[in-house]
Amino acid sequence: MLKSKIDPRSQAGFTMIDIMLIVVIMGVVLAFAVPGLRRSRSNFRLDEAVSTVVAELRASRTYARSESRPVVIDLDSSARTLTVKIDRNDDGTFASGEQSVVNISSANGITVSTPVTTGTFSPRGSFNCAQSVWKITVASTSAGTEYVYAFAGGLIERSEESL
């Protein structure tokens, strides 16, 4: 009976050095990728908060025009909420069913600020507040700052630059 001798070095497979080298390479790649992933998550949260403000203001303007009713918007910076108020029964007050509270962002690190806390869309869609332009600042501790503007004519814009 013949026994064949197999050289253990000629067998296919990975050595311990091969595996260690792959682990080191993966560590280096992850070291560069993780900070970028964190930044993109912060950018997403900021974009989501700004988009929420813009969408609510535009929807409020559309409702004011289509229903020929004024729509009042209150911004609570500390709670990061917008309250949309519509006097549907024309009694001059806003009952609980005539108010809608929208959470701008519940994410940590997002702040919302404005010098004016209340604005109103008229039935024609124009916008009125204590200043000629309502400037809402939405900031992230790690992704920067964006601004939402409501102009007197009813135009709603977002910008990365302050006016």
**pTM confidence score:** 0.76
pLDDT tens column, 16-63: 898 999 999 998 888 887 777 777 778 889 999 999 999 999 999 999
pLDDT tens column, 78-129: 999 999 999 888 888 888 889 999 999 888 889 999 999 999 999 999 999 9
In a domain? residue 35: yes
In a domain? residue 50: yes
In a domain? residue 2: no
Quote the number of domains for the chain: 1
Instruction: List the Cα angle 45/51/57 in 5-degree steps.
Output: 140
The whole domain housing 136 covers: 16-159
Question: Who contacts 10 (Cβ-Cβ below 8 Å, separation ≥6)?
Answer: none
CATH number at residue 123: 3.55.40.10
**Token representation of residue 130:** 């204590």
- Contact in structure between 76 and 116 (CB atoms under 8 Å): no
